[in-house]
Amino acid sequence: MFIDARRIEDASVVKSTVCIIGGGAAGLTMAMEFERRGIDAVVLESGGYSPDPLTMDLYRGENVGLPYHFGDNYRSRFLGGCSNCWGGWCRPMEAEDFEKRDWVPHSGWPFGLEELRPFYERAHRVLRLGPVDFDIERWVQAIGRRDVRRMPLPSGEVADSMSQFSLPMRFGKFYRRELKAARHARIYLHANVVDIETGGDGTRVQAVHARTLTGKRFSVQAKQVVLACGGIENARVLLACNRQHAAGIGNANDLVGRYFMDHPRLLTGRLTLKEHWRRNKLYDAMFHYLNRDVRAFGTHMAAQLTLTHEVQRREELLNARVWFASIFPGEGTPAAEALVRMKFRLHGKVDPVHSFLGDLATLAREPLNAMNFVAARQLQPVGIFKQLHFNMITDARLQMICEPAPDPDSRVMLSDARDALGMPRVRVHWRLGDQVKRTFDRTFERVAGEIRAAGIADVALDPPLVGREWPESLEGTWHHMGTTRMHDSPRQGVVDRHCRIHGMSNMYVAGSSVFPTAGANFPTMTLVALALRLSDHLAREVAEPDASGALPAAGAARAAARADAIAN
């Protein structure tokens, strides 16, 4: 059931078994699990069904580290959260990603891959993925195309791996009908959490207080509380709720907000592809976004190159993934960027910054660039035109995302500025050290050598990063992780292995903010798996299947709920 919090009676008190703060991938996954189990759950979602500028403004903050954007167009503060601007990449983390590595300080999870394996399998159903199978050879054989083939990797020290693509899943749209019909899950829209009240000795949440931008206030009382607002907002909420905990909830050891991680991404070098490797779509980032030619078992896929874990261990490197990025006619022009955004819109991706009409105007101003870009990327001519078409794509670059090393000084803090609700805004300090630079340098160097040795391309690399400032082309992938990291010891983590905040009896954290390390894979599949695991844990914790109770002013609240359900 959906309830517009702007319509409920002011100062209402809502009671539930579980209160979930945040309606993104983690929060909605949990809500649907509780609905299926008959467990009463309330979800507090800051936005509505679509973006609006006043709600998006609540994300605005201050950047004080590496150049970094984390507001509009990089997070989505409405139903479905950041799944609304997600590309759909899915791959489980690897066994080594969970292990303590002597050359990576602060590495190691409290459990290994085997603990998450059954939840990864369940995540396939939530994300509508293909088979629980990441054997790249089987997928390539199933695709059966000459322009989708594996590279020879002669040294044995460079390997390839694959990712599957979700639809991509827009949780707020795809699951809206199921959530609307829910009997046990109530999703309050336009409900912004402004305080979490702990009573007595401060070890138990008594109430979650929320406000709307129109001024309505209400509270939720629940047996269990789950914070699921994303890697930046989870830290912000805990730090800002400091009436009973001077440093913020869960922050007795000054860890909340620390170890902020994102996957850095760089394009480098120039590859001149040999004729028989031009337009091989398997490793080319330009064909990875739901291209029909890289598809099997009803699911799109993509391949990446990586150094084996033996090489990473020997050279004390972080994990990383490398792709090609073909250089198309018209590449980098405003018309090409507008066309890419058009394609994203077809798959439901929301862009709060660029409008559809604005992109149409850009295409009208640059028709030649637009036509060249489409011809090179999408058309499949035959005969002499096919040969011409292939000759259009001779060059590419190498693109890589790298695992960030956990760094306690890379962090999310509170700013002195406040938003429209009176909440402190965030100050983000993203840091990346020399180990990340060295991983970029060595991984590019080793992959480039493998490509040359295999006769795939001639490669010229850019100068090494070590000893230089980060280039302006460095960007994040907006995978916000690590700010409420998981560890068995409260001196080294904010939450325990069950994602419960150390020192709290009934408050948990969901999402990628609990990741102790980030690996080199996209985090959505892992955060959904963790949300499923946490749902199972809480289902065992709650004493009874339905503890919704009676609400003060219950008649008015129920009437508001019925009216809103009819309206939606």
Q: What is the pLDDT of residues 16-35, one digit of tens each?
A: 999 999 999 999 999 999 99
CA distances from 207 to 64, 220, 485 (A): 34, 6, 24
3 state SS for 183-217: CCEEEEECCEEEEEEEECCCCEEEEEEEECCCCCE
**Under a CB-based contact definition with an 8 Å cutoff, are residues 324 and 282 in contact?**
no
Give the residue from 267, 277, 275, 242 showing the smallest Cα distance to 256. Answer: 242
For residues 485 and 406, give the distance between their C-alpha atoms in angstroms, rounded to a whole number: 10
Q: Is residue 428 one of the residues assigned to a domain?
A: yes
**Under a CB-based contact definition with an 8 Å cutoff, are residues 153 and 453 in contact?**
no
Q: Is residue 546 one of the residues assigned to a domain?
A: yes
Q: How many domains does the chain have?
A: 1
pLDDT at 295 over 90: yes
Confidence tier at 370 by pLDDT (50, 70, 90) = low
Q: Is residue 318 one of the residues assigned to a domain?
A: no
Q: Tell me, what CATH number does 6's domain have?
A: 3.50.50.60
Cis peptide before 131 (omega within 30 of 0): no
To which residue do tokens 């219950």 refer? 554
What is the CA 355 to chain-centroid distance, rounded? 23
Mean pLDDT along residues 510-523: 97
Low-confidence winner among 75-89, 220-234, 361-375, 506-520 (lowest mean pLDDT): 361-375
Mean pLDDT along residues 232-236: 98
Q: Is residue 351 one of the residues assigned to a domain?
A: no
Q: What confidence score (pLDDT) does residue 291 get?
A: 83
Confidence tier at 146 by pLDDT (50, 70, 90) = confident
Q: Is residue 550 one of the residues assigned to a domain?
A: yes
Q: Is residue 291 one of the residues assigned to a domain?
A: no
Q: Report helix, strand or coil for 65.
A: coil
CA distances from 533 to 115, 122, 525 (A): 9, 10, 12
Q: What are phi and psi of 313, to 5 degrees?
A: -65, -45
Q: For residue 177, what are the domain limits?
A: 1-77+92-120+167-262+410-432+478-568
Q: What confidence score (pLDDT) does residue 349 get?
A: 62
To which residue do tokens 């409420």 refer? 484
Q: Is residue 330 one of the residues assigned to a domain?
A: no
Q: What confidence score (pLDDT) does residue 532 get?
A: 98
For residues 452 and 395, give the distance between their C-alpha atoms in angstroms, rounded to a whole number: 14
Q: What confidence score (pLDDT) does residue 167 get?
A: 84
Q: Is residue 392 one of the residues assigned to a domain?
A: no
pLDDT at 412 over 60: yes
Q: What confidence score (pLDDT) does residue 4 get?
A: 98
CA angle 168, 169, 175 (to 5 degrees): 155
pLDDT tens digit sequence for 448-495: 999 999 999 999 999 999 999 999 999 999 999 999 999 999 999 999
Low-confidence winner among 310-319, 362-371, 429-438, 455-464 (lowest mean pLDDT): 362-371
Q: Does pTM top 0.75 for this prediction?
A: yes
Q: Which two tokens stand for residue 111?
A: 């459990």
